[in-house]
Amino acid sequence: MTRTIPYVHSGRLTGSYREYVVDPPKFLARQRARHGELFRFRIGHRHLIYLERAEWVQHVLHKNHANYIKSLAYRKLRLLLGEGLLTSDGGAWKRQRQVIGPAFRRERIRDYFALMTDFTERMLVRWRGHDRINLNDEMRHITLQIVTKTLLGVESQRSLDIIRHQLPLALRYVLDRVSSPLPLPTYLPTPKNLRFRAAMRDMHGLMQEIVSSRGAAEANDVLSSLLNGIHTIEPDAKAQPRTLREQVLTLFVAGHETSAIALCWTMHLLGRHPQVLAKLRSEVRSNLRREPPSMEELAALPYTAQVLKESLRLMPPIWLMARESLGTDQLGKHKILPGDILTICPYLMHRSELYWSEPGRFYPERFDSNRGADIAPYTYFPFGGGPRLCIGNNFAMLELQLLLTRIVQCYDFELETTHHPGVEFSLSLRPRNEIWIRLRPVDTRAISSTFESTRMH
């Protein structure tokens, strides 16, 4: 017998928008406690279904993924990203994945590692003489440098400045439209609309410059894969310049935002848990020399990997995802109809008492395979799952491991304040306020040798 999905009633025109927008996970957790692991609710004119059971998540993201496409909220991101890898579906997405995928294979990531290391060393040198840094700014800067050079082959201050200044403005504009129940039309000449148009003109101009300046696609990066495979993605030659701009802009957004956020939260959690930080320091400093580590040396640091996995469990940068059903489906005894929008919250799934012991505790050892750690499928999915698993997940984890290891190797750090920075639940799980840390060099000889090698380039 088919069961009716419980409904969260609200007498307001905007439905549960007011309660949801203040603290989305708190709202969802409260309704879950009241209605169970599956319930309907309304935000403005949108009717949504929330689900929180691992086998259902696996069904939607993996087993029956062909029945589900990105939701309307993702499609609204096309205003910024067009039909890029993040926002496309169906055959268009498959063609893009086929072209871009080889650039993220292990042998190609190994080629990127030297560039990651170079930018990391430059950052450590830049920190010399500073006793405090703004973690939010520093992590955004280093991850933007890495993605610009490794994925696109670009290293110019002008390019970085345009992206750093215009991308947050454009992203904020689009996210405000996604979350608003009644957004104003984009054609109206409002100050926000005009600023967004100006930001998009600047970024599209830069994307076109990057693509045009490449010439023959001989470099070993993602842009080369795009240039070589553009006819597969977009057969229409007239549309190819636009398609390339959209793909490059998608790489900028997806390639640095989540990594920067993950590093901020990891270092914040370490600052609030000195025993974990002490154990991490012990592993890094007892196993590594003064020089930057190799990929093999990073792989031999199990506790470092556990720290990052635990940070991604508690604070997954992509905290919410949504899918729209194309046809009729079944979750348990509940019928899903065409057009239903299903929402999945890794932030809450990762903290569920059904799947985790002491879920609110920062405890990296829970990921220690030598202790019998056994993470059930789709109870932990910071990079998504199924065919749409994040294409750059291995790239991101290597980047996170390198940056965290090298920072701990060269510096002692502590939070300037123990106050929580707050959480902004937007497209990603951003710190609401700035995180400042105090620095003290641990091994000046290591930083000095880094400085000398960097100066010689």
Report pLDDT digits (tens) over 328-343: 999 999 999 999 999 9
Where residue 456 falls among pLDDT bands split at 50, 70, 90? very low
The answer on pLDDT for 443 being more than 70 is: no
* Residues 275-286: tens digit of each pLDDT: 999 999 999 999
Q: Are residues 200 and 69 in the same domain?
A: no
Q: What is the pLDDT of residue 457?
A: 45
The answer on pLDDT for 44 being more than 70 is: yes
In a domain, 450, yes or no: yes
In a domain, 303, yes or no: yes
Q: Are residues 16 and 77 in the same domain?
A: yes
The range of the structural domain enclosing residue 228 comes to: 87-318+369-456
In a domain, 364, yes or no: no
Count of domains in the chain? 2
* Residues 355-368: tens digit of each pLDDT: 999 999 999 999 99
Q: Are residues 411 and 263 in the same domain?
A: yes
Domain of 3: which CATH number?
A: 3.30.43.20
The answer on pLDDT for 158 being more than 90 is: no
- Decide if 266 contacts 307 (C-beta within 8 A): yes
Q: Are residues 189 and 129 in the same domain?
A: yes
- Decide if 195 contacts 169 (C-beta within 8 A): yes
Domain of 191: which CATH number?
A: 1.10.630.10
Q: Are residues 54 and 135 in the same domain?
A: no
Closest CA to 313 of 356, 277, 282: 356
In a domain, 357, yes or no: no
In a domain, 360, yes or no: no
Single-letter amino acid code for the residue at 404:
L
Maximum C-alpha span of the chain = 73
The answer on pLDDT for 13 being more than 90 is: no
Q: Average of pLDDT values for 374-380?
A: 91
Rounded CA gap, 233 and 100, in Å?
10
Q: What is the pLDDT of residue 448?
A: 54
Q: Are residues 203 and 265 in the same domain?
A: yes
Q: Average of pLDDT values for 90-101?
A: 90
The answer on pLDDT for 449 being more than 80 is: no
Q: Are residues 128 and 4 in the same domain?
A: no
% of residues, the chain, pLDDT over 70? 95
**Based on the number of CB atoms within 10 Å of its own CB, is 154 exposed (0-12), middle (13-18) or buried (19 or more)?**
buried
Q: Identify any residues that bridge with 437 across adjacent strands, giving them in sequence order.
A: 133, 415
* Residues 175-207: tens digit of each pLDDT: 888 777 778 889 999 999 999 999 999 998 988
In a domain, 359, yes or no: no
In a domain, 184, yes or no: yes
* Residues 413-430: tens digit of each pLDDT: 999 988 899 999 988 999
Q: Are residues 197 and 59 in the same domain?
A: no
The answer on pLDDT for 408 being more than 90 is: yes
Q: Are residues 70 and 121 in the same domain?
A: no
Q: Are residues 39 and 101 in the same domain?
A: no
In a domain, 363, yes or no: no
The answer on pLDDT for 352 being more than 90 is: yes
Q: Are residues 344 and 229 in the same domain?
A: no
Computed over every residue of the chain, the mean pLDDT equals 90
Where residue 215 falls among pLDDT bands split at 50, 70, 90? low
Lowest model confidence (mean pLDDT) among 45-54, 70-79, 417-426: 70-79
Q: Are residues 162 and 120 in the same domain?
A: yes
Encode 41-75: b = buried (16+ Cβ within 10 Å), e = exposed: bbbbeeebbbbbbbebbbbbbbebbebbbbbebbb
* Residues 112-156: tens digit of each pLDDT: 999 999 999 999 999 998 999 999 999 999 999 999 888 778 888
Region for residue 90 given its phi and psi (left: phi exceeds 0; alpha: psi -120 to 50; beta: otherwise):
left
Going by their DSSP bridges, the two strands 423-425 and 46-51 should be labelled as unpaired
